[in-house]
């Protein structure tokens, strides 16, 4: 935040004047945004951007699945990951009575889908297999369980 309200208003007013009858809401916003970004670049110290102290590994996700054990659940989940170029880095599983828990650590750097899309796909496949599936970025676990 390097420009104050009055300056932004002045830029907007100037933009409206210069654009004349071409002034649409989108155009004005674009001009003001560009001006603000230029100012921010010229004064690098002015933008108070804090770096996050917590380790960022944005391309690793953890998939946890719960449900009754039956043939093909692990195959079903991993097939969809392979289909979208997701790399399984680690896998653990546990059976408590008939209840099955699967944990997959997955690298999605080369995935051909966004996080949201692959999350939806995996959750949907889980539903077909009667599994409750939770997909989360790995960072949250590092934040909570590591000093």
Partner 1 sequence: MPISLEEILETIRMTEVEHFDIRTVTMGISLLDCRSDDLQRLKTNIYDKVTRIAAEHVKMARKVESAYGISIANKRLAVTPLAIAAEGFYKEDYIEIARVLDKAADELGIDYLGGFSALVQKGFTPGDRQLIQAIPEALASTEHICSSVNVASTKAGMNMEAIRMMGEIVKETARATADRDAIGCAKLVVFANVPEDNPFIAGAFHGVSEPDVVVNVGISGPGVVLRAVREAEEDLDFSALADRIRAMAFKITRAGIFIGHEVARLQNVPFGIVDISLAPTPLQGDSVADILKAMGLEDVGATGTTAALALLNDSVKRGGLMASSHVGGLSGAFIPVSEDAGMIEAVKKGHISIEKLEAMTSVCSVGLDMVAIPGKTPAEVIAGMIADEAAIGITNNKTTAVRAIPVPGKDVGDSVDYGGLLGEAPIMPVSQLSNNIFIRRGGRFPAPTRGANN
Q: Are 104 and 62 in contact (CB under 8 A)?
A: yes
* Contact status: 113 vs partner 1 (CB under 8 A): no
**Of positions 21, 50, 75, 128, contacts partner 1 by CB under 8 A:** 50
Q: Does 69 bind partner 1 (CB under 8 A)?
A: no
The phi, psi pair for 63, rounded to 5°, reads -110, 125
* x-marked contacts with partner 1 along 12-41 as a string, rule CB under 8 A: ------------------------------
* DSSP sequence for 40-100: HHH-GGGS--PPP-S---TTEEEEEEEEE--TTHHHHHHHHHHHTTPEEEEEEEEEETTEE
The verdict on 103 binding partner 1 (CB under 8 A) reads: yes
Binding stretches for partner 1 (CB under 8 A): 1, 4-6, 8-9, 47-50, 52-54, 62, 64, 90, 92, 94, 101, 103, 105, 115-116, 119, 134-146
């Amino acid at each position: 935040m390097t420009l104050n309200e009055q300056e932004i208003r002045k830029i907007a007013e100037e933009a409206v004047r210069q654009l004349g009858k071409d002034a649409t809401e989108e155009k004005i916003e674009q001009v003001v945004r560009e001006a603000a970004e230029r100012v921010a670049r010229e004064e690098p110290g002015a933008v108070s951007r804090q770096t996050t102290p917590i380790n960022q590994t944005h391309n690793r996700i953890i998939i946890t699945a719960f449900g009754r054990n039956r043939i093909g659940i692990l195959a079903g989940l991993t097939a969809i990951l392979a289909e979208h170029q997701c790399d399984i880095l680690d896998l653990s599983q546990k059976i408590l009575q008939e209840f099955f828990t699967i944990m997959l650590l997955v690298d999605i750097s080369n995935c051909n889908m966004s996080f949201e899309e692959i999350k939806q796909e995996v959750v949907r496949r889980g539903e077909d297999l009667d599994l409750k599936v939770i997909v989360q970025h790995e960072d949250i676990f590092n934040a909570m369980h590591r000093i």
